[in-house]
Amino acid sequence: MTTLAQSVRRQVQGAPVFSAWMLFLTTLLVIGLIAGIQVLWFGLEVTNLTNTVPWGLWITVDLSAIALGAGAFSLSTIVYIFRVKSFAPIARIAVFVGFVGYTSAMLALVMDIGRPDRFWHPVVFWNVHSVLWEITMCVMFYSAVLIFELGPAVLESEGVAKRFKRGPQIAHQMHRFTPAVSVVGLGLSLLHQSSLGATYGVLVARPIWFKPSLPVLFILSAVAAGGTFTLGITVFYENMIGKRQITSRLRNQLAMFAGLMTLAYLYLKLWDYLATTYYSHLPARVESTNLLESTTPYGVTFWWLEIVVGRWCQPSFC
C-alpha cells in the first residue's frame, strides 16, 4: 500500500541532493535544540540580552519569519477573494510556507520572552493599549486561520485519505468556507503586519520611527518578501526533486507581482525619506538621526543594502 511516507522515501531516493539537504536541516535542528535547552536552563543571560539591550538578533528572526510568511495571506487573497485561479497551485505552497514561518516565529518568541511558562498571559490578561499585545493576538488567530487553510491539503493527501476515509469529504466542506476564512486572515494579517511597523514608533527611538508611512511600508515589504520567498522555496524544491510543481507562466506572474510590490515599496520609501529626513528639520528628529548615523552604519545599510541591493536587484532576479 502506497503511503505518504513511501512517497517521500521515493523522492529522497531519487534525489540525493534532497537527502543532503534533509541531513543539513537535521543538523541545524539538533544545534537549535541544544541552544534552546541552554536558554531555558540558564536564562536569557547566555544570549547577552540585558535590560539595556532587550532586543538583539532574535527580534530579526521573529520579524523575518512573520514577514516571509506573508505570502500566505497575499496569495490566498488573490486566489480565494479575487478569484485568480491561475495562482491556485502556488497558494497551497504559500499557506504551508506561512504556517512554517509563523510557527517558527512563535517558537522563537517562546525562547525570547524569558518566562515561557507565562506564554498564556496575553490571552488572559488583556492590555489593549499595547501594540505587542495586539500583534500577539493577531498572530495566534492567524495561525489558526493557516491551520484551517492547510487542513484540506492534509486531509486530501494520499496517505491520510487511505487511513481516514472521511478526510476528503471533510476537506470538501472546509473548501466552502475558504473565501470567508481568507477574508478574516487578510484582516488579521494587515493588522499585525502594519503593527510591527507601528511598534518602533512607540519605543525610545520615537523621534525617528514615529511616522504614518511605516505601517504601510511594513505591509508592502512583507507582501513583496513573502511572495518572493514562496517562489524561491518552490524553485529550490523543484530543483531538488527534479520535478516541476508550477508552470513557467505562473512563475513569471508571481515574479512580476513581487517585483511590482517591491517597486511600490521603493517609491513610498524614497518619498518617506524626503518628507521625514531630507526636507524635515525637526530638532528631535535631527538629533536622533545624527546620533544613529554616528553610532551605526545606518547610511550605508539604508542606501546600499536596502535601496540598491534589496530593492533594485530583487526585481532583476525575479
User: What percent of the chain is predicted at pLDDT more than 70?
Assistant: 90
Q: Are 226 and 70 in contact (CB under 8 A)?
A: yes
Confidence of residue 4 (pLDDT cuts 50, 70, 90): very low
At residue 11 the predicted structure's pLDDT band, cuts being 50, 70 and 90, is: low
pLDDT computed for residue 1 by the predictor: 41
Residue 266 neighbours by CB distance under 10 Å: 19
Pair 71, 229: CB distance under 8 Å: yes
Could you report the per-residue pLDDT of 251-295, keeping only the tens digit for each?
999 889 988 988 898 888 888 888 877 777 778 788 878 887 888
What rounded mean pLDDT belongs to the chain? 82
Average confidence (pLDDT) over 204-216: 78
Q: Write down the pLDDT at residue 27.
A: 95
Model confidence at 222: pLDDT above 80: yes
Can you state the angle between helices 178-199 and 131-155, rounded to 10 degrees? 150
Residue 43: its pLDDT value, please? 82
Whole-number pLDDT of residue 2: 44
Q: How far apart are CA 190 and CA 197, in angstroms?
A: 11
The confidence score (pLDDT) of residue 5 equals: 52
Query: In the predicted model, what is the mean pLDDT of residues 220-246?
Result: 85
Cell numbers at residue 297, please?
Answer: 552604519
pLDDT of residue 76: 86
pLDDT the model gives residue 86: 87
- The three three-digit cell numbers of residue 78, written as one number: 488573490
Segment 215-242 shows an average pLDDT of 86
Q: What is the pLDDT of residues 84-120, one digit of tens each?
A: 888 888 888 888 888 988 888 888 888 877 788 888 8
C-alpha to C-alpha distance for 152 and 170, rounded to whole angstroms: 8
Which range is least confidently modeled, 154-163, 241-250, 268-277, 305-314? 305-314
% of the chain beyond a pLDDT of 90? 9
Cα–Cα distance for residue pair 282/2, rounded to 1 Å: 68
22-66 pLDDT, tens digit per residue, is 889 899 999 989 988 888 888 888 888 777 777 767 777 777 778
- What is the average pLDDT across 234-247? 83
Right CATH for 43-317 from 1.10.1060, 1.10.3470, 1.20.1630, 3.40.50: 1.20.1630
- Which residue is listed with cell 515574479? 255
